[in-house]
């Protein structure tokens, strides 16, 4: 059997396994949502206050860039689980015992990742036809102008995203939640790279190529720096509309896109070199098995010779009164278990900085960093039981809803309170009660969101992604409507803390409902 | 102490019945639950452990409806699932301490109990090692220990000896025998010899239905005089298998010695044998299959 046949067989099996899961429908739904947003004029490409007429070239360009920009973020998180799935289902161990080479296996996984991302882009491409017809500004559908941006801008970008997802999965410290956070910042850096480098070579999403082409055509009013891809809460009303006939696919542009495919292939080679072939003694599986990488997997432990007879004395004091603090302490210990000294050092440093920094804006920024630091601890809330398959044992314990779940939540709140205590102390000393209220809402909101998303998704990923996004838009950019932690001094004076308190209550109630549902399954 | 199960059924999606109209009345002792793969054993175990809800039927623990109020049962329940996980970064001691807290055991009593259990499952020396580095058998022993944390009155153990070495299996059987006095133990397994060693009652399930619930003696009595040894050339073995229920074969120099379950001697030279529990189990499953085929026809 040729290597190509093996790659395709591996990719097909993986792809089918994915498309038969409900989450795949969600990915297609997300792509359709972007198409819908563009159709109703809430997702727009602008040159100053102008936009292009909705002809095939403009719609193709717009949706292709939307696809490669947003699907390169959301899509990455959707596909970054292919090796993990083979590990969790133990299919990996079976595959490891077959003659398949590491590169062939990785290539198969890359092809499957790409197929998933390409189907999202394909959905967006189909919606572009609908969008042109619905907008009604130019009903003449020019297929090449409409579809070529998807083919030549979006798909090459997806090859890189597909390969990056696999590289992240093969690097021990990037395969989990930390990698999810790292990719978010990497993605923001990738988007700004072509602007900084002023070259199509660095343009993953195709926005730079599109902008350069529009400016070069002379169709738009000359406002090169005001080019933007925007999401609006209402419909964008353009001051003027111009006609643009599409990207001229020059050799330079095609070369830059081909280069992306070459980069993807190179990333696959790197991933194959890093891939541990599901050997539990190598890679992240070994790291996960023990707190110290140097510790080998224990095959057998010398134990005392088994006693010929065993006798267990009766439990004299059966628990009469339940001690919530014992469960809370146990949950807190479980949450913090495995953290190294440097984790605590950074957390302590951030607490100290919150207390010492005198400028309120800067102090708010320190709080923002202090409350992103424990993200991986919060993201395990509500899903830990299913992830480690301890749920059957825990759910068979008395009052799992009234005892264990609140203890998990409170452990998360305590973590927020302690890691943000420097900020609270300053507010207390300044007698800034509205500020303290906004901070307290943040300390309640974060674990509530984590618990809710963890319980309903049984995965840490949704919280890691959404929280990072919210954190980036709100506290990092001082946008009051997204400042859920009251890091900006102005937030306390607004109604947003009350709104987030209401959200907190809803999220907690949803977490309880989700756990109740799990108990009744 | 009494566990009553009435008309219990569990329907999965796709019109698949995991359990169908199951009735059982249990008193202190060890119930060995036997059945082929997919018989519904784990479904029953999960329902009894309050982890899964049945589609219909009722379960009463000392006359208390455990489906509407499962918590009184949970307080006295020990459960070892067939597939369970551990937190890899916790040590055996820490993991048990965590579960003790969740089960409502207080500090000093929990500590004493954990130490004793670690000793009983032969893990005292490994108590401070992270569970992520444990072998399958060692994890299983941690599972056994957690099931016994609260000195349960109802102990539900699903395939408890899976992954244990022969020595540990014997050790666990001894423990189970010792525990069975004043509590109800439900032991689900494929291994008939495990049941033979400890069970005071045996229930046989197939296709979600209860085929038999009897004492080991009664089960053996049901096939008394129906087990035969047949000596034949190995080439005749396939034909014998087609006609009769063959529970085991042994190749010897004079031919194949086959152990056959049949109402009458299969051949004139067949010699009668003492029935074993495995013979009884296979005969019950075969009879159940025949009844079901008849009902379907």
Is residue B40 pLDDT above 70, yes or no? yes
Determine contact: A293 vs chain B, CB below 8 A. Answer: no
Q: Quick one: CA torsion of A105, A108, A113, A115, rounded to 10 degrees?
A: -170
Is residue A298 pLDDT above 50, yes or no? no
Residues in contact with A273: Cβ distance below 8 Å, sequence separation at least 6, in sequence order:
A102
Pairwise CA distance, residues B102 & B110, whole Å: 11
The closest of B266, B216, B209 to B239, measured between CA atoms, is: B266
**Domain co-membership, B41 together with B119:** yes
> pLDDT value at position A300?
44
Model pLDDT for residues A147-188, shown as the tens digit of each residue: 999 999 999 999 999 999 999 999 988 998 889 889 988 998
> pLDDT value at position B33?
95
- Which residues of chain B lie closer than 8 angstroms to A319, CB-CB? 75, 103-106, 109, 150
- With an 8 Å Cβ cutoff, are A298 and B122 in contact? no
**Domain co-membership, A22 together with A82:** yes
Q: Quick one: CA torsion of A257, A258, A260, A261, rounded to 10 degrees?
A: 140
**Domain co-membership, B177 together with B283:** no
Cβ atoms of residues B228 and B270 within 8 Å: yes
Is residue A349 pLDDT above 90, yes or no? yes
**Domain co-membership, A283 together with A328:** no
Q: Give residue B171's pLDDT band: very low, low, confident or very high (50, 70, 90).
A: confident
CA-angle at B132, arms to B129 and B138, nearest 5°: 70
Average pLDDT rounded to a whole number, residues B194-205: 91
Of the candidates B194, B215, B236, which is a domain's last residue?
Answer: B215
Pairwise CA distance, residues A47 & A45, whole Å: 7
Range of the domain at A206: 3-288
- With an 8 Å Cβ cutoff, are A327 and B101 in contact? yes
A:337-356 residues touching chain B, CB 8 A cutoff: 337-338
Residue that the structure tokens 């400028």 belong to: A359
- With an 8 Å Cβ cutoff, are A297 and B133 in contact? yes
> pLDDT value at position A292?
36
Determine contact: A401 vs chain B, CB below 8 A. Answer: no
- Which residues of chain A lie closer than 8 angstroms to B179, CB-CB? 312
Cβ atoms of residues B175 and B181 within 8 Å: no
> pLDDT value at position A437?
96
CATH number for the domain including B152?
3.40.50.300
**Domain co-membership, B64 together with B102:** yes
Q: What is the mean pLDDT of chain A?
A: 86
Determine contact: B103 vs chain A, CB below 8 A. Answer: yes
Is residue A299 pLDDT above 50, yes or no? no
Long-range contacts: B283-289, Cβ < 8 Å, 24+? B283/B222, B283/B223, B283/B226, B283/B245, B284/B204, B284/B211, B284/B212, B284/B219, B284/B222, B285/B35, B285/B36, B285/B204, B285/B206, B285/B211, B286/B245, B286/B261, B287/B211, B288/B204, B288/B206, B288/B207, B288/B209, B288/B211, B289/B206
> pLDDT value at position A295?
37
A:270-289 residues touching chain B, CB 8 A cutoff: 288-289
Determine contact: B68 vs chain A, CB below 8 A. Answer: no
**Domain co-membership, A470 together with A338:** yes
DSSP-derived letter for residue B130 is B
Measured CA distances, A395 to A240, B50, B59, B154 (Å): 61, 8, 18, 16
Residues in contact with A148: Cβ distance below 8 Å, sequence separation at least 6, in sequence order:
A60, A246, A247, A249
> pLDDT value at position A317?
61
> pLDDT value at position A310?
63
Of the candidates B158, B191, B215, which is a domain's last residue?
Answer: B215
Name the closest residue on chain B to residue A516, using Cα atoms: B51
> pLDDT value at position A268?
97
Q: Smallest Cβ distance to A398: which of B103, B148, B174?
A: B103
**Domain co-membership, A377 together with A504:** yes
**Domain co-membership, B150 together with B83:** yes
Q: What order of strands is seen across the sheet that includes strand B184-188?
A: B77-80, B154-158, B184-188, B29-34, B201-206, B209-214
Name the closest residue on chain B to residue A388, using Cα atoms: B85
- With an 8 Å Cβ cutoff, are A398 and B88 in contact? no
Which residues, listed in sequence order, are joined to residue B78 by a DSSP beta bridge? B155
Q: Give residue A512's pLDDT band: very low, low, confident or very high (50, 70, 90).
A: very high
**Domain co-membership, B85 together with B169:** yes
The closest of A58, A450, A259, A88 to B83, measured between CA atoms, is: A88
**Do the domain assignments include residue A466?**
yes
**Domain co-membership, A371 together with A282:** no
Range of the domain at B284: 221-296
- With an 8 Å Cβ cutoff, are B175 and A310 in contact? yes
A:462-501 residues touching chain B, CB 8 A cutoff: none
Of the candidates A271, A288, A305, which is a domain's last residue?
Answer: A288
Instruction: Please state the ipTM of this predicted complex.
Output: 0.70
Most distant CA pair in chain B, distance: 69
- With an 8 Å Cβ cutoff, are B79 and A392 in contact? yes
Of the candidates A288, A313, A336, which is a domain's last residue?
Answer: A288
**Domain co-membership, B162 together with B227:** no
Model pLDDT for residues A53-110, shown as the tens digit of each residue: 999 999 999 999 988 988 898 899 889 989 988 888 777 877 777 778 889 899 999 9
Of the candidates B155, B182, B215, which is a domain's last residue?
Answer: B215
**Do the domain assignments include residue A98?**
yes
Residues in contact with B286: Cβ distance below 8 Å, sequence separation at least 6, in sequence order:
B245, B261
**Do the domain assignments include residue A135?**
yes
CB atoms within 10 A of CB A144: 13
**Domain co-membership, A375 together with A477:** yes
**Share above pLDDT 90 across residues of chain B, in percent, rounded to a whole number:** 52
**Domain co-membership, B40 together with B145:** yes
Name the closest residue on chain A to residue B71, using Cα atoms: A398
Which residues, listed in sequence order, are joined to residue B61 by a DSSP beta bridge? B3, B64
Q: Report the DSSP pairing between strands B29-34 and B201-206.
A: parallel
Determine contact: B94 vs chain A, CB below 8 A. Answer: yes
Q: Give residue A521's pLDDT band: very low, low, confident or very high (50, 70, 90).
A: low
Residue B24 in 3-state DSSP? strand
> pLDDT value at position A225?
57
Is residue B296 pLDDT above 70, yes or no? no
DSSP-derived letter for residue A323 is -
> pLDDT value at position A152?
96
> What is the number of domains present in chain A?
2
Name the closest residue on chain B to residue A319, using Cα atoms: B105
- Which residues of chain B lie closer than 8 angstroms to A301, CB-CB? 125-126, 129, 138
Pairwise CA distance, residues A330 & B94, whole Å: 9
**Domain co-membership, A115 together with A212:** yes
- Which residues of chain B lie closer than 8 angstroms to A312, CB-CB? 116-117, 120, 148, 175, 178-179
**Domain co-membership, B63 together with B28:** yes
- With an 8 Å Cβ cutoff, are A397 and B102 in contact? yes
**Domain co-membership, B146 together with B70:** yes
**Domain co-membership, A339 together with A478:** yes
Please give the structure tokens belonging to residue B280.
Answer: 């009884």
Model pLDDT for residues A357-397, shown as the tens digit of each residue: 989 889 999 999 999 999 999 999 999 998 888 998 898 88
Residues in contact with B209: Cβ distance below 8 Å, sequence separation at least 6, in sequence order:
B20, B21, B22, B40, B288, B292
Pairwise CA distance, residues B229 & B240, whole Å: 12
> What is the number of domains present in chain B?
2
Is residue A20 pLDDT above 80, yes or no? no
**Domain co-membership, B115 together with B244:** no
- Which of residues A230 and A338 earns the better pLDDT score? A338
Q: Report the DSSP pairing between strands B56-61 and B3-12.
A: antiparallel
CA-angle at B132, arms to B129 and B137, nearest 5°: 85
Model pLDDT for residues B60-71, shown as the tens digit of each residue: 999 899 988 888
Is residue B119 pLDDT above 90, yes or no? yes
Cβ atoms of residues B80 and A390 within 8 Å: no
**Domain co-membership, B108 together with B28:** yes
Length of chain B: 297
Cβ atoms of residues B39 and B205 within 8 Å: yes
> pLDDT value at position A282?
57
Average pLDDT rounded to a whole number, residues B213-223: 94
Is residue A275 pLDDT above 80, yes or no? yes
> pLDDT value at position B297?
61
Is residue B104 pLDDT above 90, yes or no? no
- Which of residues A505 and A12 earns the better pLDDT score? A505
The least confident of A147-151, A338-342, B1-5, B25-29 is: A338-342
**Domain co-membership, B31 together with B133:** yes
Residue B273 in 3-state DSSP? coil
**Do the domain assignments include residue A253?**
yes
Residue that the structure tokens 């936009």 belong to: A51
């Amino acid at each position: 059997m040729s290597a190509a046949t093996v790659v395709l067989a591996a990719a097909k099996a993986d792809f089918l396994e994915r498309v038969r899961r409900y989450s795949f429908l969600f990915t297609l739904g997300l792509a359709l949502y972007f198409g819908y947003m563009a159709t109703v004029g809430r997702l727009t490409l602008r040159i100053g206050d102008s936009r292009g007429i909705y002809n095939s070239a403009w719609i193709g360009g717009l949706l292709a860039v939307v696809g490669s920009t947003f699907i390169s973020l959301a899509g990455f998180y959707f596909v970054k689980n292919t090796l993990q799935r083979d590990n969790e289902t133990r299919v990996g161990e079976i595959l490891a015992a077959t003659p398949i080479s590491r590169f062939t296996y990785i290539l198969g996984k890359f092809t499957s990742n790409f197929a998933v991302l390409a189907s999202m882009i394909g959905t967006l491409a189909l919606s572009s036809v609908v969008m042109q017809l619905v907008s009604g500004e130019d009903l003449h559908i020019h297929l090449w102008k409409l579809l070529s941006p998807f083919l030549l801008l979006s798909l090459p970008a997806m090859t890189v995203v597909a390969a990056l997802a696999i590289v992240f999965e093969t690097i021990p410290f990037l395969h989990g939640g930390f990698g999810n956070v790292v990719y978010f910042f990497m993605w923001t850096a990738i988007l700004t790279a072509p602007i900084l480098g002023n070259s199509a070579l660095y343009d993953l999403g195709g926005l730079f190529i599109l902008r350069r082409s529009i400016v070069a055509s002379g169709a738009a009013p000359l406002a090169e720096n005001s080019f933007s891809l925007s999401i609006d809460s209402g419909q964008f009303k353009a001051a003027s509309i111009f006609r643009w006939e599409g990207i001229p696919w020059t050799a330079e542009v095609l070369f830059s896109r081909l280069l992306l495919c070459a980069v993807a292939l190179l990333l696959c080679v790197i991933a194959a070199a890093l891939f541990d072939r599901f050997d539990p003694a190598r890679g992240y599986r070994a790291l996960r098995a023990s707190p110290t990488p140097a510790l080998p997997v224990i095959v057998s432990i010398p134990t005392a010779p088994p006693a010929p007879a065993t006798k267990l004395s009766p439990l004299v004091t059966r628990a009469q009164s339940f001690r919530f603090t014992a469960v809370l302490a146990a949950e807190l210990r479980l949450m913090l278990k495995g953290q190294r000294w440097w984790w605590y050092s950074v957390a302590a440093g951030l607490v100290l900085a919150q207390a010492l920094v005198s400028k309120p804006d800067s102090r708010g920024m320190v709080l923002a960093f202090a409350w992103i630091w424990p993200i991986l601890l919060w993201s395990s809330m509500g899903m830990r039981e299913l992830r480690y398959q301890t749920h059957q044992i825990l759910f068979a314990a008395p009052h799992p809803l009234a005892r264990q779940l609140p203890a998990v939540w409170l452990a998360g709140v305590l973590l927020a309170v302690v890691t943000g205590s420097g900020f609270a102390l300053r507010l207390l000393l300044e007698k800034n009660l509205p500020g303290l209220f906004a901070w307290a809402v943040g300390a309640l909101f974060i674990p509530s969101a984590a618990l809710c998303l963890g319980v309903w998704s049984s995965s840490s990923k949704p919280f890691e992604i959404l929280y990072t996004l919210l954190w980036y838009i709100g506290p990092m950019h001082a946008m009051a409507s997204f400042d859920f932690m009251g890091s900006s001094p102005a937030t306390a004076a607004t109604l947003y803390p009350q709104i987030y308190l209401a959200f907190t209550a809803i999220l907690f109630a949803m977490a309880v409902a989700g756990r109740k549902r799990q108990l009744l399954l | 102490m009494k566990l009553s199960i009435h008309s219990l059924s569990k329907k999965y999606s796709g019109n698949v019945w995991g359990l169908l109209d199951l009735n059982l009345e249990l008193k202190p002792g060890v119930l060995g639950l036997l059945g082929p793969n997919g018989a519904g054993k784990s479904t029953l175990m999960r329902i009894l452990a309050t982890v899964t809800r049945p589609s219909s039927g009722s379960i009463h623990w000392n006359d208390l409806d455990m489906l509407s109020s499962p918590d009184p049962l949970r307080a006295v329940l020990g459960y070892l699932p067939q597939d369970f996980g551990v937190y890899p970064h916790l040590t055996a001691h820490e993991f048990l301490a965590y579960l003790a807290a969740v089960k409502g055991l207080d500090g000093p009593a929990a500590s004493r109990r954990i130490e004793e259990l670690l000793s009983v499952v032969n893990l005292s020396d490994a108590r401070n090692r992270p569970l992520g580095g444990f072998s399958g058998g060692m994890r299983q022993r941690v599972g056994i220990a957690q099931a016994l944390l609260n000195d349960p009155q109802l102990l539900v153990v699903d395939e408890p000896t899976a992954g244990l070495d022969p020595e540990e299996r014997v050790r666990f059987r001894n423990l189970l025998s010792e525990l069975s006095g004043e509590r109800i133990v439900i032991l689900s397994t494929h291994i008939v010899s495990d049941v033979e060693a400890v069970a005071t009652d045996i229930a046989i399930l197939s296709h979600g239905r209860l085929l038999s619930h009897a004492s080991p003696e009664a089960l053996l009595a049901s096939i008394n005089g129906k087990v035969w040894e047949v000596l034949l050339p190995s080439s005749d073995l396939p034909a014998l298998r087609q006609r009769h229920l063959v529970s085991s074969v042994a190749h010897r120099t004079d031919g194949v010695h086959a152990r056959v379950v049949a109402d009458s001697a299969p051949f004139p030279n067949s010699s009668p044998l003492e029935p074993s529990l495995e013979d009884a189990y296979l005969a019950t499953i075969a009879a159940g299959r025949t009844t079901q085929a008849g009902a379907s026809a």
